[in-house]
Structure 1
Amino acid sequence: MKRGARMGISDLIAGFLQECLDETGDGVLEVQRGELAQRFNCVPSQINYVMSTRFSPERGYIVESRRGGNGYIRITRVQVDRETLLMHVINSLGDRVDLPSARAILGNLAEAGALKEDLARTLLAAVGDKALGAVPRDLRDQVRADVLKNVLILQV
């Protein structure tokens, strides 16, 4: 039941942000993470989840974020070619990627047509916990990020 409730709030937040983006006219929206969390009576990490899954580069958005007291989130709607999209994803991966994030990134890239579906599934298997079983748990997210970056670079 809890998962369904979380998915419901994610849909509400995403819908609200999409409406606000549509109203801006220029495809740029700036919001306060804290105010948004307060409006939807959720934790700020829920806002982060919506940003990473619904407003990702693979879906045609660039999200800039600044944390702290005056932290904000700026969402920009963009149209980019396949190579630009892949490079943006590569550059935004960071040093560590957890498995749910890898799953979302690869799913979004496949959905956007930047990766073939069979390659996305294969890559997900390659960075999954079964494949990384010999890697100590505390290093898996780092290895996962390295593997993702290297394979995605070959796709550019």
Structure 2
Amino acid sequence: MGNLADRIEEYLKRVLEQTSEGYIILQRSELAGVFACVPSQINYVLDTRFTVERGYLVESRRGGGGYLRIVRLGLGIEGEYQQVIRQLIGEQLSRARSSALVDRLLDEEIITTREAAIIKSIISSNDLSGEFRDWDMLRARLMKNILTTLSRDDLV
């Protein structure tokens, strides 16, 4: 199975799936011991693969009594994830963050593979003709509209 980061990610996702609380609490040093790595490798996985765009909140406290709390955000029609995302999108959204949001919608089976490809194609196009310069602002508006459309009751 892939590299160390992939194994750590898979392990954490598996543990999250097995819990009924919707979150897990771990010690960073103990997790690093399980994978025979340094704690900074754990930080890397959390920072890159357990982001809000991907549907997770990570709370971290360092030090002697330190811990990691990883919360899986719900993504239903009225899920708190959509509210959090609308707030975090703000006025601008990078290509990478918008792509991560679309991947999350696909993972949760809110959209199909084809719809994900269409959305990614639209939000990543910087080569359209014209003088428009603020693509991050346009992406933010598009993603907010997409989330609003997906949460409308009459579409279900």
TM-score (norm 1): 0.62
- For the residue of structure 1 that corresponds to 2:140, the secondary structure is helix
- What SS class does the counterpart of residue 113 from structure 1 fall into? coil
Cα-Cα RMSD:
3.9
Alpha-carbon distance in 1 for matches of 2:99, 2:137:
15
Q: 1:106 aligns with which of 102, 105, 117?
A: 102
Q: Equivalences for 1:1-156 in 2 at 5 Å? A: 8-18=3-13, 20-21=15-16, 26-31=21-26, 39=38, 41-42=40-41, 44-52=43-51, 56-57=54-55, 62-65=56-59, 73-77=68-72, 80-84=75-79, 85-130=81-126, 134-136=131-133, 139-156=134-151
Q: Aligned partners of 2:150, 2:18: CA distance in 1, in Å? A: 36
Change (3 A) 1:128 1:16: same
* Alignment size in residue pairs: 143
Maintained 8 Å contact 1:99/1:141: yes
Alignment gaps of 5+ in structure 2:
152-156
My pick for the range that moved more, 22-31 or 143-152, is: 22-31
**Cα offset, 1:88, TM superposition:** 4.1
TM-superposed CA distance for 1:20, in Å, is: 4.8
Structure 1: stretches of 5+ with no match in the other structure: 1-6
Tell me which structure has the larger Cα radius of gyration. Answer: 2
